[in-house]
Structure 1
Amino acid sequence: MISSFITYLQCELNYSAHTVDAYRHDLEEWACFATSGNMDELDAASVTVSDLRLWIAELAQKGLSPLSLRRKVQSLRAFFRYLMRCHGATHNPASDLTLAKTPKPLPVYIRQNELETVLDEATDYDDFDQLRNRLILLMLYSTGMRCSELTGLHTHNIDLNRGELKVLGKRNKERIIPFGSELANMMNAYLTLRKQTVPQPDTVKEFFVRKNGLPIYRKL
């Protein structure tokens, strides 16, 4: 039955060879566990969620990562969905398995003295990328803006004379953020260099852009 499922993935769904191999490995590993090594004796119709939990529990005890456990469960779910769709099975026991939670990476914080050291470094006001990136750091540091607010900032929402900018925050709520003369001077220098660097600068809505005029994004 597993071999027919693998053929289904290859011929009907056109899955990549890498994906098919991952499914095959997971399911053969499970079948070997379920039949004590006699995979030809596998009776998928009689499998219960308790049977599957025994296998997942053993893998967890062996130290398998939550991410790998999730993949095993997803392989089982896909296999039993196939049996329901193509072979008349009436229940997917794997649907009752709980997916292991994958740990979220901890946020990385920059120390105050490290950030101040970066901001104190000399800036080449003729280098577009360097000036823009330094301005981004200074703006985040001095205004407390979110990254999404900064990347979505439009030039017409900045008032250099009043020292204010308007951003669209969470739940599409607008808020006004004041800023000081140091930031205003660097913003003005950036706008001047942007006119000299970016093609058709007057058509660009976003304040922060790349040299080609396209908006920046979080992983610039």
Structure 2
Amino acid sequence: MRDVQLSNTLKKISPLAMGSEAYEFLNMLIVEAGLSKETVKSYGKDLRGFLEYCGRMGAAKPAELGIDTVSGYLRMQVESGLSPATAARSAAAVRTFIKYMISRNLIDNDFTILIETPQRPENLPEVYSIEQIIKLLDSPDIERDKFFYRDKAILEILYASGMRASELARLENKDINFRLGYLRCTGKGNKERLVPLANSSISHIRNYLERERPAMEKPAGAGNLFLSRLGNPLDRTNIWRIVKGYAARAGIPNFTTHSFRHSFATHLLSGGADLRSVQEMLGHSSVTTTQIYTHLQENQLIETHKKHHPRG
């Protein structure tokens, strides 16, 4: 674990009640579960508050941990004014940690089913029209933008595949199959999936590979598809900035890399794609997660009816 912030999180957790168990748990999330360091840092932050509370309540060992202590901690968080989303995330971290200790026979009874999780509010992402997306895709200017071909390929792939910015940053040259027209994407938990690409996206990738990338390549980014001006692999922050810049130019200031993902799914479903196929392409482990886009469609239909029907 070379990440400095993650190392500091682990150092702060180790001396606490059940700190050694939490330390091993967080290591397991990276080594065995394959979670990103950012996700593990979030888990560590949530567990630190929980372990401090356990110490104050006299639950210093796994065997001393019970439903009353856990419920008391989660109730305290809600009453302290945390948002439902933050409280729900913390509850998920605590529940996963307890299940880990149960799997290691450190706790005899599985009481996690009795833990009430604060419900996340249903914050539906903003829907962007096809016209807005096309305007954004057309915003790079070959005369104005130094890395026109790279940026054009990035925008086209994000909309054509629905992939996350972090997934795009990990793409390598070998992940693109030009002959069959798909890319191989590595998502959360290091799970791989195949996503079809539109012919226009493939064309823009070819242009970038032939006209820009050879001059940008340095040893540090030899295998990566998208490179910075210094030849290093682009990270998700770089990609976020690129998208935000072109979105502002297109007059869509609140647009982010994830907005492409929402638009990809919504436009597919609006065009008649089935939910399971969209689930596979997004890399969702459960179709329940994908169903948010059916709600977007329902809301859009209601608004259209209100706006255009005589009795709306």
TM-score, normalised by the number of residues in structure 2: 0.36
TM-score, normalised by the number of residues in structure 1: 0.49
Q: Which has the higher contact order (CA 8 A, sep 6+)?
A: 2
